[in-house]
Amino acid sequence: MKHIYTSVDLGTDTIKVVVCELYKNKLNLLAASSEKSEGIKKGLITDVELATASLKRAINSVEAMLGIEIKKVIASVPSYFMDCSMIKGTVEIPQVMDEYQEIQDGIISGSDVSRVLSEAMKHYDFQDREMVAVLPIDFLVNQKDYVRDPKGLPSRTLSTRAMMVSTPKKNIYSVVQLFSSLGIEVIDISIDAIGDAYAFKNRELDSTVGAIINIGAETTSVSLYNKGIIVKHAMLQLGGKNIDNDIAYVYKIKSDDARRLKEKFAFAHKSHASKYEYSEVKNIYGDVVRVNQFEISEVVYSRLGEILNLAKKEIRSLTSRNIDYAIITGGTSNLANFSYIAKEVFGNIAKLGNVKLIGIRNNKYSSAVGNIAYFVSKLKLKGKEYSMISTDMEEDLMSSQNAKESYDSMLGKVFGFFFSE
């Protein structure tokens, strides 16, 4: 069975769709698409009709690349309203009789891992919130040994400490209904802050304290991580569109033209811009305007500096500890010479969050790619296998012929899959 996964990130500016195959514990890109997003604002669905049309365009684009229908996905909901809470739980491991008729400690299975996480969740008061992720910090075996993966170990009890991430129920239901209207089943739900962490996961992140800053279109998320686990989160009401608006205001041009100049002509750090390079564009009055590269880069540099310094201030309010890294990602981090302004604000701990997946060179895909990595990690921890395409669709994927297959859409499967025994 091919292990193929589709992830969809619903952003305010664009909808990103990524399809990957897991082969020999490594993710390989099969297809990626980014389409203009409409009817979605700060991750919330504000116009169902426009949002449905945008999602359909993004899905259709990937389907055309692969020659199959996308019927199951991992969906990303905004971290805008997320909450992190520590939860704990303990379960007993059934003892077993050995060949000499002596009672021995049972061996911890993936089912036991699911049970202890479910037990930990029982103590959380959900009210109008829904769980979107449970991130195990560690597991306690035999009440003395802390491990990251307890499967295969003998024990009489299994305990866990985990960080549970929740979001308002209405946010999740609206997303699930959006996909359901297109005949697509949501297999798992995550948030962009978790996706970012798994997109850049390595030994350093798993052993230190740091932050990931994702500069989106209208907001910037600031997430604090301890040994790879998200512990705190904040949002800034500024993003890439604020830079577009600044440029549009200064030169009296349309927002689309401002964005194009930002991405194709300007520099994130003004020191690298030329005072002798110009680009011509029509303003809103129909007159041709000559835009100087150094001057427009000053506009970009000024707003970016504000965003990054506010993010730095937010990190200080989230923790009194010195952090070991500050990873900056999101579409805005693709601007020319972005690393220079990042290091100017954060010093040597600044890192540009480049997505390490062959075929993807744009950081706007970080959450979508990372959420596949997170989904795979959950499967591994609980000893499960899963693929989002059927055997028939595998054959069509190889032959690039279209496949049609229908599945029931059930919200219960979103959460039941990982917590069933």
Out of 154-163, 251-260, 277-286, 374-383, which region has the weakest mean confidence (pLDDT)? 374-383
Q: Please, is 338 exposed, middle or buried when counting C-beta atoms within 10 Å of its C-beta (0-12, 13-18, 19+)? A: buried
Q: Give the range with max mean pLDDT: 153-162, 355-364, 385-394.
A: 153-162
What pLDDT was estimated at residue 406? 27
Structure confidence by residue, pLDDT tens digits, 255-310: 999 999 999 999 999 998 999 999 999 999 999 999 999 999 999 999 999 999 99
Structural domain spans, the chain: 83-168, 205-352
What whole-number distance in Å separates Cα of residue 372 and Cα of residue 9? 11
Identify whether the C-beta of residue 184 lies closer than 8 Å to the C-beta of residue 72.
yes
418/56: higher pLDDT: 56
195-231 CB burial, b ≥16 within 10 A, e <16: bbbbbbbeeebeeebbbbbbbbbbbbbbbbbbebbbb
pTM: 0.86
Structure confidence at residue 382 as a pLDDT band (50, 70, 90):
confident
Task: Classify domain 205-352 at the CATH topology level.
Answer: Nucleotidyltransferase; domain 5 (3.30.420)
pLDDT tens per residue, range 86-115: 999 999 999 887 777 778 889 999 999 999
Average pLDDT, the chain: 88
19-66 pLDDT per residue, tens = 999 988 888 999 999 999 999 887 688 999 999 999 999 999 999 999
- The domain 83-168 is placed in CATH, from the list 3.40.190.10, 3.90.420.10, 3.30.70.260, 3.30.1490.110, at 3.30.1490.110
